[in-house]
Structure 1
Amino acid sequence: MAFIERENARIYWNALGQGEPVVLIMGLGCSSAMWFRMAPTLARTHRVILLDNRGCGQTQTRTALVHRVAVMAEDVVAVLDAAGEHSAHVVGFSMGGMIAQQMALDHPARLRSLALLGTHPGGPWAIQAAGPVLRLLFDKAHMSAEESLRRMRPHTYGRQTPDALFEEDALVRLANMPAARDYQAQLYGLIYWSVYSRLPSITAPTLVMHGLEDALIPAENGRLLASRIPRSRLVELPHASHWLMTDASAECIWTLQQHLKQHST
């Protein structure tokens, strides 16, 4: 367990395992604890570096109206420095995938490979969720933590996913829920963010993975990313939604392991 100080924040990070470094960047409103289905397995063969984004988990920030994606990308670079790693495989989920794209463009030499899970390139080019789902995303800040998770479930978990898996995720999330102010600051940071026009400049070999049942970030976004990023590979999971690491955990981990193995040094 460690912290770094930068840009009015005290960023929490941690590492487990040994081997080539892999940085895992979590999504909107979620702490790094939500990598619990993937991190232990990856740590058998890699050094897994985890961090809590601004507004989540053990990371502490001073009052901020917006947590900007570019700033959070610089946080990841600072964590790499603190961990003594010049470069790493970078894996981003949802908002974390947006942070990963920003990092890949601003600091290409710091990436050994890139994996984008359930994410989009931002701006008007991204394929948006249906109106009711988008409204729910903004309304969550005014709900209880339990209600927000259950209201989002039909849009973010696969139809075949057992209740027990959803409940396991919910317990971890409820133990690490951000304050409404920080959730909104992350959300506002996404509204005007986009790297769509810059995607062809990404040089890292890229895996794009998306669940076909995803109603929050529709699967067309994965196809869009893969069509714009050179040296990219698209994998679509037919029975997974947004939380593809839960809906199709074994397939998701295996696919990522093969990607890391292919691009290891």
Structure 2
Amino acid sequence: MSAADAVPYHPPRLATVGQVDLCHDAFGSPDAPAMLLIMGLGCQLVHWPEDFCRQLAAEGFQVVRFDNRDAGRSTHLPGRRYTLDDMADDAVGLLDALGVDSAHIVGASLGGMIAQAMAIRHPRRVRSLASLMSTTGRRGKGRTSLRVLRHALARPPRDEEEAIERRVRIFSVVGSTGFDQDLDELRRVSALASERDPDARDGRRRQHRAVRAAPDRTEALHLLTVPTVVIHGTEDPMCHPSGGHATADAIPGARLELITGMGHDLPPGARPRLIRAITDNARRAAAR
């Protein structure tokens, strides 16, 4: 049995944070330094691959993943408007509920934007920052390819099977070209996500509205002092690599890790490099 296989798992539970309940689970010892994973638009905690989380935890962290508001089993807010700052405050509130003073923050896509907002608004709560496949909000940076937008505008699926196959088609467009995709795992997680949140489309729209309303974070990112790694795939059509370059340029001392052939996903073949970049950055923070 590998070290990752031996990592303890703490099943999902709810934490009340202001007016929302956030569903979260965890891998690793509660006594280890906390690492908070924040997922992207319309995604859920299950979209962080379990094997990826276990390998991070085996490096000596308590890895916590959670459903953002309006996703998964966290509170949904029909008719409500909110901002990325509200979502960043949710994540800080979750740390409060867990009794965690500060954590290593890892955000992917929309999660990267939320992680950046956390570091701007609550710098003492962020021990290190890893921004994956994300951008600063600056106009023209991290653009989405038109071929991706065509899929996003397609009619909603009529049943779970159609929803699963639609997600497979989307990832054939946004996923990595230089790494193999695990289609069986993609279908399994898509089915689980559909079961956990059958009405995900409405929540995704409200999250997208928060992204569109967010201001450019570039100037605020110039003021950060937190150790930062920016990770981006060279073949990302959902968020053009210019978003990663802009983020790394904005944050003093940030390290840019470009992964050749990676798209807007976490393919198994790229995970060793992702884990190394994230953990090296976290240890850089600990050493400092």
* Fold match by TM threshold 0.5: yes
In structure 1, C-alpha distance between the alignment counterparts of 2:54 and 2:114, rounded to whole Å? 22
CA contact (8 A) 2:148 2:174 kept: no
Give CA deviations for 1:84-108 in whole Å, capped at 9, x if unaligned: 1110110000110000001000000
Deviation of the 1:123 alpha carbon: 4.4
- Residue 43 in structure 1 maps to residue 61 in structure 2: no
Unpaired stretches in structure 2, ≥5 consecutive residues: 1-11
Question: For residues 157-196 of structure 1, what are the structure 2 equivalents within 5 Å?
Answer: 157-163=175-181, 165-177=182-194, 178=197, 179=199, 180-194=201-215, 195-196=217-218
Assess, with a 3 A threshold, how the Cα gap between structure 1 residues 90 and 141 changes in structure 2: closer, same or farther. farther
Residue 216 of structure 1: SS of its match in structure 2?
A: coil
Deviation of the 1:140 alpha carbon: 5.3
Give CA deviations for 1:100-131 in whole Å, capped at 9, x if unaligned: 00100000000111000100112424231222
Larger radius of gyration: 2
Find the counterpart in structure 1 of residue 259 from structure 2: 237
For residue 92 of structure 2, what is the amino acid of its counterpart? V
Find the counterpart in structure 2 of residue 25 from structure 1: 38
CA contact (8 A) 1:37 1:245 kept: no
In structure 2, C-alpha distance between the alignment counterparts of 1:115 and 1:154, rounded to whole Å? 25
Deviation of the 1:147 alpha carbon: 4.2
| Equivalent residues, number | 263
- The range that moved more, 140-149 or 51-60, is 140-149
Find the counterpart in structure 2 of residue 205 from structure 1: 227
CA contact (8 A) 1:37 1:249 kept: no
Query: What is the identity percentage for the equivalent residue pairs of Structure 1 and Structure 2?
Result: 29
Query: Structure 1: which 4+ aligned runs deviate by more than 6 Å?
Result: none
For residue 207 of structure 2, what is the amino acid of its counterpart? Q
Find the counterpart in structure 1 of residue 6 from structure 2: none
For residue 190 of structure 2, what is the amino acid of its counterpart? R
Residue 60 of structure 1: SS of its match in structure 2?
A: coil
Deviation of the 1:62 alpha carbon: 3.5
Find the counterpart in structure 2 of residue 225 from structure 1: 247
Assess, with a 3 A threshold, how the Cα gap between structure 1 residues 172 and 230 changes in structure 2: closer, same or farther. same
Question: For residues 48-67 of structure 1, what are the structure 2 equivalents within 5 Å?
Answer: 48-67=63-82
Deviation of the 1:158 alpha carbon: 1.5
CA contact (8 A) 1:158 1:247 kept: no
CA contact (8 A) 2:41 2:207 kept: yes
- CA RMSD of superposed structures (Å): 2.0
In structure 2, C-alpha distance between the alignment counterparts of 1:203 and 1:152, rounded to whole Å? 37
In structure 1, C-alpha distance between the alignment counterparts of 2:21 and 2:237, rounded to whole Å? 34
Question: For residues 62-77 of structure 1, what are the structure 2 equivalents within 5 Å?
Answer: 62-77=77-92
Unpaired stretches in structure 1, ≥5 consecutive residues: none
TM-score scaled by structure 2?
Answer: 0.84
In structure 1, C-alpha distance between the alignment counterparts of 2:99 and 2:254, rounded to whole Å? 28
Give CA deviations for 1:38-86 in whole Å, capped at 9, x if unaligned: 2111112111122110121211224244453111111100110111111
Find the counterpart in structure 2 of residue 155 from structure 1: 173
Assess, with a 3 A threshold, how the Cα gap between structure 1 residues 169 and 66 changes in structure 2: closer, same or farther. farther
Deviation of the 1:28 alpha carbon: 1.1
TM-score scaled by structure 1?
Answer: 0.91
